[in-house]
């Protein structure tokens, strides 16, 4: 399928074929698409936890439910909690990942000159924007948004539907899944085969 067609036809799905299981390989393709997204300094800060409804505890499923997202909560066979790991932007780590890009000849022309540039010109900025100093991670939302968007488009290409949700449910589900304390939950994505028709408009 052409990329423009995927972008044009994709829509948020709120009613899924709850009786139809989703193949693990298709979810893996979504995760791989997210992993391959562009990100600042090649830090790869996007994280995900996949929740399979038929394997989850009732307490976890209950923590996902919200009154305004009733349909997808009741019918989606899979949920993905997407979160950001701000410490991926920790200054020294960021300098190290950029230096590795240089050393493997994926950035710059002359290794020694480029490493010198990284240490003298980029490192001070990385260290100044360290989340331990600023309390946040510059560029994280942009990076993670690209990653989640790529996963969403791959889901559609694989015949799946999805719907992104936010709000208070994110922290609740994150705590239930015991994500790291440094994690910043970004979205909960319901995934499954659509029980809605694009052609019928719903």
Hunting for tokens 């690209």 — which residue is that? 146
Phi, psi of 163 (to 5 degrees): -150, 125
Residue by residue, pLDDT tens for the chain (202 residues) are: 688 988 998 999 999 999 999 999 999 999 999 999 988 767 788 999 999 999 999 999 988 887 766 788 889 999 999 998 877 777 777 788 888 888 898 888 889 888 888 888 778 877 776 666 666 665 678 889 999 999 999 999 999 999 999 888 898 999 999 999 888 899 999 999 999 877 776 6
Query: What is the 3-state secondary structure of 101-163?
Result: HHHCCCCCCCHHHHHHHHHHHHHHHHHHCCHHHHCCCCCHHHHHHHHHHHHHHHHHHCCCEEE
pTM, whole model, 2 decimals?
Answer: 0.83
List the structure tokens of 84.
């950001």
The vertex-160 CA angle with 156 and 165, nearest 5°, equals 85
């Amino acid at each position: 399928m052409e990329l423009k067609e995927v972008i044009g036809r994709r829509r948020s799905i709120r009613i899924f074929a709850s009786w139809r299981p989703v193949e693990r390989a298709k979810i893996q393709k979504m995760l791989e698409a997210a992993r391959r997204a562009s990100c600042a300094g090649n830090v790869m800060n996007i994280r995900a936890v996949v929740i399979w409804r038929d394997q989850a505890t009732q307490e976890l499923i209950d923590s996902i439910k919200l009154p305004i997202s009733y349909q997808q909560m009741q019918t989606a066979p899979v949920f993905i909690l997407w979160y950001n790991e701000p410490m991926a932007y920790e200054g020294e780590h960021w300098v190290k990942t950029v230096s590795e890009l240089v050393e493997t000849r994926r950035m710059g022309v002359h290794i020694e000159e480029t490493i010198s540039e990284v240490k003298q010109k980029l490192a001070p900025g990385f260290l100044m924007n360290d989340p331990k100093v600023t309390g946040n991670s510059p560029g994280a939302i942009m990076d993670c948004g690209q990653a989640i968007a790529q996963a969403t488009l791959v889901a559609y290409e694989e015949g799946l539907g999805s719907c992104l949700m936010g709000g208070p449910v994110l922290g609740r589900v994150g705590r239930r899944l015991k994500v790291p304390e440094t994690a910043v939950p970004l979205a909960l994505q319901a995934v499954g085969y659509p029980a809605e028709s694009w052609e019928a408009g719903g």
